[in-house]
Structures are given as C-alpha cells and as structure tokens.
Amino acid sequence: KNLSSFQQHCTSQRIMILREQEVPDGEAVQPTCKKSASLEGDRANVCLLILLYLLQGVVLGLGESVPMVLQSKGVNYNDQAIFSITAWPYSVKLLWAPIVDAVYSNRFGRRKSWLVPAQYLIGITMLCVSYRANAWIDDPAGPRIVLLTVFFFLLTFLAATQDVALDGWAITMLKRENIGYAATCGSVGQTIGISVGFFVFMSLESADFCNAYLRSEPLPYGVLTLSSFLNYFGWIFLMTTTLVMLFKNEETLFTDEEHSLGVLDTYKKLIRIIRLPAIKTFSIFLLTMSISFSACDAISWLKLVRLGLDREKFALATTVIIPVKVSLLLFFWKRMTGEKSMDIFMKIYPLRLAFNLVASVFIWSTAQMLMGLDVPSYFYGLLILIYGCIQIASYFMMVNRFAFYTRTSDPALGGTYMTLMNTLSNLGMAWPNSLVLLLVDPLTFSQCSTDAENTCSNSKWIKECAGECKTYVDGYYVLIAICTVFGLLWLRWAIPTVRELQRKDPKEWKVSSGSQKKSENSQFL
C-alpha cells in the first residue's frame, strides 16, 4: 500500500529527508531520518577500500604504460589497437558479475569468496611472467605483441573480477550514511595505483631519469624493469591478500531476496534490470559519452612519443598532476558526490570537449618545439597544463558518475548493479579508443619523397624509404575533427536526458522484488 510522503525535523546530528514507504495494511509508519555522513567507525574500512582499489589501479596503470613503451619501440597504431584489447575485460565483466554475486561461500564471506582468489591469481601470474617480460619487450624482431596482449588481458580479467567483488563490498562495508565515500575511496585508490603503475614505473625504468636523480654513477639501465616490477608487486599482492583473508571479517547483511537468488535467478534479474526504461536510457548515455574524446585520449600522447618526446620525461612532467587531482577531489568531494552529481558532469563536458582542439594544436606545434637539441622550457609547462586539465576534468566526471551509480544501485544486488553501470561506462570508453586506433593509419596519407609507390604506411616501408616520408593528411587530426563535431551534437541530446534521469524516483531504477518468483535453490558453496 502506497502511503503519502512525510517529513520530520531532525536534530543537528541528522538531516531532514523525504521518503516514500510501503508497509503492510494495519502497520504504523515509523518516521525515519538519515544520519549525516561521519567517518566514526568507518575509518579503517575507508583505508582498506583505498588500499584494495590502489592494488587494482597498479594493474591498470601498468597496462597504460606498456603502450608508451611499445610506441618507443616503433610499433604502428594497428599493433596498439591489438594491445588495446587488454582493456576489454572491464567492458564485458557484466557477463560473469552475476556469478560473483550469486556463487559464494557464506562462511568465508560473500565478496571475499571472489576478491581473495582473484588477487592471489594476479600475484601468481605476475610472478610467473616476470621471468619472461623483458624478453618479450626487447625481442630483436620486435616486441611480442600477441604474448604481451594475452598476459595483460589475463591480468585485466582478474582485476575486473576483483572490481566486481570490491564494488559490491564497498556498498555493504561502509555505513549507509557514508556510502558517498565509496566513490572517493575508489577514485583516490585507483588514481594512486595508476600513478604507481604508470608514472612511477616509467620513471624508474628510465636510465636517464635514474642517472639524473637517483644515482651518483650512471648506469645503462633503470632501477626497475618490467620483470622486476612484476616480481615486486606479485609478492605485494600475495602478502596483502593474505592479511585481508585472515584479519578482515565480512559482515554480510542478507535479505530474503539475496538468499533466494541463484546464478540463473541473478541473470534473469539482470535482464529485468537492463529492460528498465531508466537503465535503457542511461545505457545509451554511457555507451556514447566517450566517443567525443576517443581520438584525443587514445592517440595524442602516443603521438608525442612518436614525435620524439622521451616517455620518461612525459611521465615525470605529468606526475605533478596526481596530488592536484587528489587534493581537488578531497576538497570538492561533497559537491562531486551530491544528489545532482550528473549536473556537474554535464557542466564539465563542454570544457573537456574544447580540450580536443587545444590538445591537437599542441601536438601540431610539438614537432617544431622538439626539433632542436634543447627543448624549450615552456614546452613542459604547456604539457603539464594541457594534460592536467584533461585528466582533472575526466577524473571529476568519473567521480560524478560513480556517485550516481551508488545512489541508484540496489544493495541487494550491489555487485551486479554497480558492475552493470561501470561495465557500460568502460565499454563506452574502450570501443571508441580501439576504433580510432584502427582508423588513424587508414586515414593518414603519406608518400616517400624518393618513391611514389611507397606510402610509408608501416614501419617496414618507412625504413625502406631512402628519402623523407611526407604526410599530406594526418588521420589524427581528421579523427579529432570528427569526434569534436559528434560531441557537440551529442550534448544537445544528453543535457535534457540527464535532467530527466536525475528526476526519476529511486524505484524506477530497481526491479520490484514482489513480482519476482523466489527460487528455492540458492547457490552456495
């Protein structure tokens, strides 16, 4: 029976809310009020979540650093497109998320049943591959793209499985009034982890950086190699996972519906979730939102390396952005994770779109700035400013989305709800990036100055050119223009759509449990 909404004045320690309840006939409605956010009793949980997201971020950051290393080895954009497949497990993890939600050991813990094995396998895989990683990268015939892709695909698959379990655990680990901190924990943890796997690794792997800042006597290699980095973090994963397994108890709050849902039931409910009108509309939003930025994000920084910028200098120049991003998030987190977080997303989007043009102009002028032996001092300042603005805008937009996910997710199927939205978001970023990497070479028209039949379309033909490879049409700039125009058109649809989605009743995001037949065969290990 639907009852009218009610309001109640709360004390200074609570806030007033408006809530519609359903209660059986004859029962009194007990007004409730929502506690204001306080970390009292949740500080240890926040630290643990940040640590676990940090480990996940290390895997992601390492996956981002390898394309830079490959680019410095002279691979073409088609090879980069093949390696970009390693990001796809995050985009299709919805396929096994219901299994993670429904199959578990009640005694061991619902989320730990998957998080612990996934992290153990990540550690073991890192240790095993650490013995061959350097040989794959430095193969005289060229980097072993297929082997590297298979290895990092496996690592990302395991990290995606850990992410499914961790997203669900974050919802139940924190108090309900602190659920907004889940977005902050995920963003801060992943950012630090990605910086370790990307910026720290590339800097310490560089002989020039280590000789300039860390050594008194120069050596021809860096402090770290890919193999040693994998070895170190393989052990860190194993030790951290063991501590979590032994000392962190999972307090699972079951509902009758959770007890009743098996694997097939969860897939059936997932299908019902996807069929919800609100989810359908939001799915289109998530799958198309990143098309506008794909050329800028996937190609720009690889093009800098191709133009002659040392990858370790790129890593060093952009390291200063990390503390700025984290500090800004901590300062603005209440606004970023508020009830209208997607309004902020839509305000940032046009600014982010404008940086497509800013980045392309910077890339165009980089060739002239890097021609001399001495790179102008202002070059790195411009790099930090442009790259920093793009990263901070993308970072805030991610937090806005994550906060929206936590508010619309059903705690009874937290892992599946969160994973559905995160999966659609990741898929919306992955498929445009892979597509533009495949298109950039076909849309580029070059010719060898001494051989009209040599189009300089791959590394072999470039080496065979006795003269100079002249580019008449650069596919990068063509794709930047196409993506930017698409973004302007997309905004006309997205702005009113987001407003409508935020006005929807929370019940429109959830499948009614009353209409679903309860299954008697729960899937417990």
* pLDDT tens-digit map of 170-222: 888 887 777 777 877 888 898 889 889 988 898 888 888 888 888 888 888 88
Query: What structural domains does the chain harbor?
Result: 1-36 (no CATH), 37-440+474-509 (1.20.1250.20)
Question: For 82-92, how does the pLDDT look when each residue is reduced to its tens digit (9 = 90+)?
Answer: 999 998 888 88
192 or 102, greater pLDDT: 192
Question: pLDDT category, 7, cuts 50, 70, 90?
Answer: very low
What pLDDT score was predicted for residue 27? 44
Class of residue 414 by CB neighbours under 10 A (exposed 0-12, middle 13-18, buried 19+): buried
User: Rounded distance, CA 34 to CA 43, Å?
Assistant: 20
DSSP 250-293: ------HHHHH--HHHHHHHHHHHHTSHHHHHHHHHHHHTTGGG
Angle between helices 294-306 and 377-408 (to 10 degrees): 150
436, pLDDT greater than 90:
yes
Reference 383, options 273, 303, 485, 265; nearest CA is 303
What pLDDT score was predicted for residue 156? 94
114 or 426, greater pLDDT: 114
502, pLDDT greater than 50:
yes
Contacts with 444 (C-beta within 8 Å, 6 or more apart), sequence order = 457, 471, 473, 474, 475, 476
Question: For 144-171, how does the pLDDT look when each residue is reduced to its tens digit (9 = 90+)?
Answer: 999 999 999 999 999 999 988 898 888 8
180 or 301, greater pLDDT: 301
257, pLDDT greater than 60:
no
What pLDDT score was predicted for residue 168? 81
Question: pLDDT category, 351, cuts 50, 70, 90?
Answer: very high
Residue with tokens 């009610």: 6
What pLDDT score was predicted for residue 358? 96
Question: pLDDT category, 453, cuts 50, 70, 90?
Answer: confident
| 92-106, 212-226, 500-514, range with the lowest pLDDT | 500-514
Q: Is the pTM of this model over 0.85?
A: no
Highest mean pLDDT among 77-91, 174-188, 303-317, 502-516: 77-91
469, pLDDT greater than 50:
yes
What pLDDT score was predicted for residue 237? 96
What one-letter code names the amino acid at 416? Answer: T
Question: For 26-77, how does the pLDDT look when each residue is reduced to its tens digit (9 = 90+)?
Answer: 444 444 444 555 667 678 888 999 999 999 999 999 998 899 888 888 788 8
DSSP 170-198: HHHHS-GGGTTHHHHHHHHHHHHHHHIII
Reference 366, options 474, 441, 467, 456; nearest CA is 474
Question: pLDDT category, 264, cuts 50, 70, 90?
Answer: confident
Q: Would you give the DSSP letter of residue 215?
A: -
What one-letter code names the amino acid at 72? Answer: S
Mean pLDDT (the chain, rounded): 80
What pLDDT score was predicted for residue 205? 86
What pLDDT score was predicted for residue 375? 73
Q: What percent of the chain has pLDDT over 90?
A: 30
> Structure tokens of 187?
């963003």
User: How many C-beta atoms surround the C-beta of residue 316 within 10 A?
Assistant: 19
What pLDDT score was predicted for residue 333? 66
308, pLDDT greater than 50:
yes
